[in-house]
């Protein structure tokens, strides 16, 4: 008890169960997230820097981009797991999905007001809240702009210390350009681990800004550069899918033969059609296939 109290007063961040364990995060990402060296590095660095600052000047805003099934939602849940004592069960982690929460275009004004109040209310209760916005490329543009006052360094939101919050935006936008860069590296026989943010960042921003269905389209969030880190997720190679299959089989406590793993791999779709370099669905359908095949 004493040690934990000391830790809390020293770091000043045990409020609302916020107990980041970033070494554990780093280990779990290295062990469980396959083929995403760039995303893992960027997230760990950004979060470390953020939580080690007593009074951050703005909230941490991360934007995850990449092909389906590449691990965007998975990584965000591992991050949350290691930020709070009770992980994803912590009530100060809030998930938003356009289909669930903002389904009807005619209600945009209502959604905006509800969202603004929800964020403000929750930040008043707990400044160390995390807000995760899924499928940003299906969000009606405009809704997300109500977040602008909460994301920047210079606004004051009365009664809240909004600067300690973490916002994560997830979308497939930019997936095509990320895939193209990864494919070019593969064709040039360059190591995938050589891909750096500078190879992708501006192309992703351009892709997002030119997608009218994206929640960031014409948004002040992009125009005012309120995103701290753009986090690209690379398309997964068959070797990564193999790792996902093995992990899933182990989790389900199923015995597996190499032949069966190969059959699952053979049953997936890869692109480009002639070269079959990357999985079209990433690891997304692996869990159900493992249950079916093993």
Ligand X SMILES: Nc1ncnc2c1ncn2[C@@H]1O[C@H](COP(=O)(O)OP(=O)(O)OP(=O)(O)O)[C@@H](O)[C@H]1O
Residues that bind ligand X (CB under 6 A): 32-36, 68-74, 172, 236, 244, 282-284
CB of 67 to ligand X, least distance (A): 7
Name the residue nearer to ligand X (CB basis): 146 or 178: 178
CB of 154 to ligand X, least distance (A): 32
What is the DSSP secondary-structure string of 237-292?
A: PHHHHHHHHHHHHHHTT----HHHHHHHHHTS-EESTTT--EESSTTTTHHHHHHH
174: left (phi over 0), alpha (psi -120 to 50) or beta: left
Name the residue nearer to ligand X (CB basis): 51 or 244: 244
Instruction: Spell 145-178 as b/e; 16+ CB within 10 A means b.
Output: ebbebbbbeeeeeeebbbbbbbbbbbbbbbbebb
Name the residue nearer to ligand X (CB basis): 59 or 282: 282
Name, in order, each residue with C-beta under 8 angstroms of 151's C-beta and a sequence gap of 6 or more: 58, 59, 61, 167, 221, 226
Name the residue nearer to ligand X (CB basis): 59 or 71: 71
CB of 92 to ligand X, least distance (A): 22
CB of 98 to ligand X, least distance (A): 12
Residue nearest to ligand X (CB): 71
Name the residue nearer to ligand X (CB basis): 123 or 229: 229
CB of 285 to ligand X, least distance (A): 8
Give the three-state DSSP class for 166. strand
Given the DSSP bridges, would you call strands 229-233 and 60-66 parallel, antiparallel or unpaired?
parallel
Given the DSSP bridges, would you call strands 270-271 and 278-279 parallel, antiparallel or unpaired?
antiparallel
Name the residue nearer to ligand X (CB basis): 12 or 180: 180
Longest dimension (CA), the chain: 62
CB of 56 to ligand X, least distance (A): 26
- 129, exposed or middle or buried, with CB in 10 Å at 0-12, 13-18, 19+? buried
CB of 232 to ligand X, least distance (A): 11
Name the residue nearer to ligand X (CB basis): 73 or 220: 73
């Amino acid at each position: 008890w004493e040690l934990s109290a000391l830790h809390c007063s020293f770091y000043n961040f045990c409020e609302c169960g916020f107990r980041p364990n970033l070494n554990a995060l780093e280990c779990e990402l290295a062990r469980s997230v396959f083929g995403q060296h760039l995303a893992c590095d960027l997230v760990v660095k950004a979060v470390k820097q953020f939580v080690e600052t007593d009074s951050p000047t703005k909230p941490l805003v991360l934007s995850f981009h990449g092909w389906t099934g590449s691990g965007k939602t998975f990584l965000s849940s591992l991050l949350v797991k290691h930020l709070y004592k009770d992980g994803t069960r912590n009530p100060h982690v809030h998930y938003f999905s356009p289909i669930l929460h903002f389904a009807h275009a005619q209600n945009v004004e209502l959604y905006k007001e509800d969202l603004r109040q929800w964020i403000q209310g929750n930040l008043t209760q707990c400044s160390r809240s995390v807000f995760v916005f899924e499928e940003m490329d299906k969000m009606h543009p405009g809704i997300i702009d109500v977040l602008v006052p909460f994301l920047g360094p210079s606004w004051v939101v009365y009664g809240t210390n909004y600067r300690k919050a973490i916002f994560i935006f997830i979308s497939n936008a930019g997936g095509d350009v990320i895939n193209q860069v990864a494919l070019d590296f593969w064709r040039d026989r360059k190591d995938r681990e050589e891909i750096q943010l500078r190879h992708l960042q501006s192309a992703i921003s351009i892709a997002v800004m030119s997608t009218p269905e994206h929640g960031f389209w014409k948004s002040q969030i992009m125009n005012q550069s309120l995103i701290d880190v753009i986090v690209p997720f690379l398309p997964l190679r068959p070797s990564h899918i193999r790792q996902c299959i093995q992990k899933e089989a182990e989790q389900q406590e199923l015995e597996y033969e190499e032949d069966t793993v190969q059959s699952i791999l053979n049953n997936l779709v890869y692109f480009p059609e002639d070269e079959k370099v990357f999985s079209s669905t990433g690891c997304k359908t692996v869990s159900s296939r493992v249950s079916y095949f093993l």
